[in-house]
Amino acid sequence: MIGKKTFLVAGIAIALIIAAMAPFIASSNPDGLESAFFGIFGAKELEGSTLDEEMAGAAEEEVTAITGNEFSFNSPFPDYSIGGLAKSGETAAVIIGTLLVLGIALGLSRIVTRKE
């Protein structure tokens, strides 16, 4: 049988390998909610990757006017990247994020399983 420590190290190694490969195999086209939003407001075809930037801006302004929500958030790694580093910046951002999530999970698991 495999030991707990070996299993944990192997899991972390696999997570980091996937994180390092992700920027090279991920699609550069918007997907999910962003794609659906632009499709609904006519800034993008539902199938395809061409985005009409002018219509996209108008759609965002229209939704802001309707909802009154002007909330914006500055991300430490916008678009899963570190500015000016191209693919290596994307890889670094994803690896840093993976390590942060693993660290938080490890910390929480230690707190929850702490014996008093």
Q: In whole angstroms, give the CA distance from residue 37 to residue 30.
A: 10
Confidence at residue 31, expressed as pLDDT on a 0 to 100 scale: 67
**Distance, CA of 49 to CA of 52 (rounded, Å):** 10
Predicted confidence (pLDDT) per residue in 39-90, tens digit: 888 788 767 667 778 888 888 888 888 888 777 777 777 777 888 888 888 8
With pLDDT > 90 as the criterion, what percentage of the chain qualifies?
28
CA atoms of 33 and 37, how far apart (whole Å): 6
3-state secondary structure the chain: CCCHHHHHHHHHHHHHHHHHHHHHHCCCCCCHHHHHHHHHCCCECCCCCCECHHHHHHHHHHHHHHHCCCCCCCCCCHHHCCCCCHHHHHHHHHHHHHHHHHHHHHHHHHHHCCCC
User: How many CA atoms are closer than 13 Å to the CA of 74, on its beta-carbon side?
Assistant: 0
Only one residue has tokens 């916008």, namely 78
For 36-41, which contacts have Cβ atoms below 8 Å and span 24 or more sequence positions? Answer: none
Higher pLDDT: 46 or 3? It is 3
Structure confidence at residue 48 (pLDDT): 67
Which of 42 and 17 is assigned the larger pLDDT? 17
Q: In the prediction, which pLDDT does 95 show?
A: 92
Asked if residue 107 has pLDDT above 90, the reply is: yes
| Domain range annotation of the chain | 1-27+77-116, 31-72
pTM of the model: 0.65
Report phi then psi at 51, rounded to 5: -110, 125
Average confidence (pLDDT) over 81-100: 87
